Amino acid sequence: MGKEVVPEVVVELVNELKSKYTVKVILETLDIPKSNYYRWKNKDFSISEDEREIIELCKKHRFTYGYRKITALLNRKNNKPINHKKVQRIMQKHNLNCKVRMKKSKRPGNAYYKTHNLLNRNFKAEKPLEVLLTDITYLPFGNTMLYLSSIMDAYNGEIVAYKIGNKQN
């Protein structure tokens, strides 16, 4: 007997075939011990409260969260903690797999143009506007991120131009 046997299905199948065949013959054909069948028959296969909550959370978040995040949500929501292994077991039992994003493959095409290192880390300039340096600074602003792009003259450290925007361009 392997792990591929689902107890609920076996009990249901035996109940359907009981009118034509004996339980013993059905179980011998399926290669399932009688003790297993009777244990499964007496077992309650109804969905528990934890299972119901996990299924509800997975559906609510469109199956994008894995067992770790579902566990964190349940522990934050409920007063009693739930173990991550139990959540993982329930999710596997009900086939509640999270969607895995496909890694974007690199498209073959023209190679990128690589510029030469003209400064060679020599940031001193002889005259103004001879060497210009640029930098992008991230500015958290509320729930969004703003970007400060500035151009500095290496001769005297003066900011020649700057722009603040919500994109890095």
Dump pLDDT digits (tens) for 79-128: 889 999 999 999 998 889 888 888 888 777 777 778 888 888 888 889 99
Q: Residue 164 gets which letter from DSSP?
A: E
- What is the reported pLDDT for 105? 82
Q: Are residues 77 and 53 in the same domain?
A: yes
Q: Is the pLDDT of residue 31 over 50?
A: yes
Query: What is d(CA 101, CA 64) in angstroms, rounded to the nearest whole number?
Result: 9
Q: Are residues 53 and 22 in the same domain?
A: no
Average pLDDT value over all residues in the chain? 89
Q: Containing domain of residue 139, as a range?
A: 132-165
In a domain, 143, yes or no: yes
25's enclosing H/E stretch is helix 23-30
How many domains in the chain?
3
Q: What is the pTM of this model?
A: 0.48
Helix, strand or coil for residue 34? helix
In a domain, 106, yes or no: no
- What is the reported pLDDT for 1? 46
Residue-wise pLDDT for 53-73, tens only, equals 999 999 999 889 999 999 999
In a domain, 125, yes or no: no
In a domain, 82, yes or no: yes
In a domain, 111, yes or no: no
- What is the reported pLDDT for 3? 59
Specify burial of residue 67 (Cβ count, 10 A radius: 0-12, 13-18, 19+).
buried
Q: Is the pLDDT of residue 2 over 70?
A: no
In a domain, 87, yes or no: yes
In a domain, 29, yes or no: yes
